[in-house]
Chain A
């Protein structure tokens, strides 16, 4: 699973950071970004990342699930 934040959509509501602070950080203006080390989301955070995607009011979180056969991220 890979995750990114679309900077054109993000308005800095901060919901993703509340749900999964390890993966979703915010810059000095409060806009979200994905911690580089977690762009390939470790299994332990995948549920939280899915929840963040569902909760984002601006629908700014983009998840790409690994193709079947690919090793999980």
Chain B
């Protein structure tokens, strides 16, 4: 391919950009590398479907330094993007100064100290799940561990009754995975759509509009569910996040309104149920495919310093989120003319593999320094649950590999990936 053809191919890749398809995932890093070299700010075409990110008028940003600049500049690049089933989520879709005030309330519940206190419980719960999982010779790592471990912990922290676990997971899957390759999400969303009397294909196919209507109905059910929990905790507070939110004060001036409480709970739900599960799925899939890297990891697990560097590298390498922003005024950015209202999408998958920032970016190097990766985001919106996520990843990976150092992909059940907000929905493993 000559230079001109390469550039033309980059233009086409941007035009058709759809991170939620299997075809894209097969060439994901190649495509991002091509775009980064040829069109680091690429106009995404109308044929692209940006899985819930708002399609038309978007720019795809694949350079690390560009993305950092945008994510730090909250005045020109707003987090309130578009298409919320009810209202923008707090604090993720809110800009400073209100964002700062909300984070001031939430940050102190998620400090490393606060998470230290959870460590024994995390270890015990992980060990229990692993005991059950490894009693079998073949198992779906997602259903048996990657989903229930972080989600169970999250339900406890929030104060959701554990018996609601399956319902919460089903809602989450309908809301986030109706059309991204996640077969359970697709099936559930199609069933919901049929209940609502909407058009669904025989293959469970749905238009974007139908998916939005399903999302709206699920969000409505969730808000109702959260409303009931808030009422219950108003009557009888407990030691959980719901009760803390009820007792919280906005800038020391007033309690949170009912809408603020609900919008915050909705964000917790969206951010807490999928993220660590997705990262664990991708990491363990990688280990199943590459026993050499797995063994290297097992060798360093006992050294806390090397282990924390390794966890950061795994998060860099297996990044899961696309970070969207909305341009708030007409402006020129590195030669590109961005218009007020345009969306910019920063895939952390692309930024974390920028060779100008990471030497040999496609190589997993457990001792990588520097490693200023964007796996937990960048700027004021960096992941609120960062310290919980790191700890869950460390504990899960350590205990899994103590219990079961050798495993491989199942001989006849291939992994099922989903894209957009990326992850693994089924990961069948067997003892090696």
Partner-B contacts on A (CB < 8 A): 11-15, 17-18, 26, 28-31, 51, 54-59
The answer to whether A29 touches B107, judged by C-beta atoms less than 8 angstroms apart, is yes
The answer to whether B372 touches A57, judged by C-beta atoms less than 8 angstroms apart, is yes
Q: Do A18 and B308 contact each other (CB < 8 Å), given the known contacts A12-B382, A29-B104, A57-B378?
A: yes
- Interface residue? B386 (CB, 8 A): yes
Closest chain B residue, CB of each to CB of A18: B308
Q: Do A30 and B379 contact each other (CB < 8 Å), given the known contacts A54-B369, A54-B370, A55-B371?
A: no
0/1 per residue, B308-336, Cβ < 8 Å to A?
10001000000000000000000000000
- Candidates B107, B372, B378; contact of A12 at CB < 8 Å: B107
- Candidates B104, B112, B373, B382; contact of A26 at CB < 8 Å: B112
Within 177-236 of B, Cβ neighbours of A (below 8 Å) are at none
- CB of A25, distance to nearest CB on chain B (Å): 10
Considering residues A11, A14, A56, A58, which has the most beta carbons from chain B within 10 angstroms of its beta carbon?
A: A11
- CB of A18, distance to nearest CB on chain B (Å): 5
Considering residues A12, A18, A30, which has the most beta carbons from chain B within 10 angstroms of its beta carbon?
A: A30
- Interface residue? B365 (CB, 8 A): no
The answer to whether A56 touches B112, judged by C-beta atoms less than 8 angstroms apart, is no
Q: Do A13 and B386 contact each other (CB < 8 Å), given the known contacts A28-B111, A29-B111, A30-B110?
A: yes
Within 371-399 of B, Cβ neighbours of A (below 8 Å) are at 371-374, 376, 378-380, 382, 386-387
Bound together, the chains give a CA A59 to CA B376 distance in angstroms of 15
Instruction: Determine the chain A residues whose CB is within 8 A of the CB of B376 once the complex forms.
Output: 13
Known: A13-B382, A29-B103. 20 other contacts (CB 8 A): A11-B378, A11-B382, A12-B386, A15-B312, A17-B112, A28-B108, A29-B107, A30-B110, A30-B111, A30-B112, A31-B107, A54-B370, A55-B369, A55-B370, A55-B372, A57-B373, A57-B378, A57-B382, A58-B379, A59-B372
Bound together, the chains give a CA A17 to CA B111 distance in angstroms of 12
Instruction: Determine the chain A residues whose CB is within 8 A of the CB of B312 once the complex forms.
Output: 15
The answer to whether B380 touches A11, judged by C-beta atoms less than 8 angstroms apart, is yes
Instruction: Determine the chain B residues whose CB is within 8 A of the CB of A58 once the complex forms.
Output: 72, 378-379
Instruction: Determine the chain B residues whose CB is within 8 A of the CB of A31 once the complex forms.
Output: 107
Instruction: Determine the chain A residues whose CB is within 8 A of the CB of B104 once the complex forms.
Output: 29
Closest chain B residue, CB of each to CB of A59: B372
Q: Do A11 and B379 contact each other (CB < 8 Å), given the known contacts A18-B308, A26-B111?
A: yes
Partner-A contacts on B (CB < 8 A): 72, 103-104, 107-108, 110-112, 308, 312, 369-374, 376, 378-380, 382, 386-387
- Candidates B112, B369, B378; contact of A14 at CB < 8 Å: B112
Instruction: Determine the chain A residues whose CB is within 8 A of the CB of B108 once the complex forms.
Output: 28-30
Q: Do A57 and B374 contact each other (CB < 8 Å), given the known contacts A11-B380, A26-B112?
A: yes
Bound together, the chains give a CA A49 to CA B374 distance in angstroms of 21
Bound together, the chains give a CA A57 to CA B370 distance in angstroms of 9
Instruction: Determine the chain A residues whose CB is within 8 A of the CB of B111 once the complex forms.
Output: 26, 28-30
Instruction: Determine the chain A residues whose CB is within 8 A of the CB of B382 once the complex forms.
Output: 11-13, 57
Bound together, the chains give a CA A54 to CA B371 distance in angstroms of 8
Q: Which 6 pairs from chain A and chain B are nearest by CB?
A: A29-B107, A57-B372, A30-B111, A54-B370, A11-B382, A30-B107
Considering residues A18, A28, A54, A56, which has the most beta carbons from chain B within 10 angstroms of its beta carbon?
A: A18
Q: Do A56 and B372 contact each other (CB < 8 Å), given the known contacts A14-B112, A29-B108?
A: yes
Bound together, the chains give a CA A31 to CA B104 distance in angstroms of 11
Bound together, the chains give a CA A11 to CA B355 distance in angstroms of 24
- CB of A45, distance to nearest CB on chain B (Å): 14
Bound together, the chains give a CA A13 to CA B111 distance in angstroms of 10
Instruction: Determine the chain A residues whose CB is within 8 A of the CB of B387 once the complex forms.
Output: 14, 30
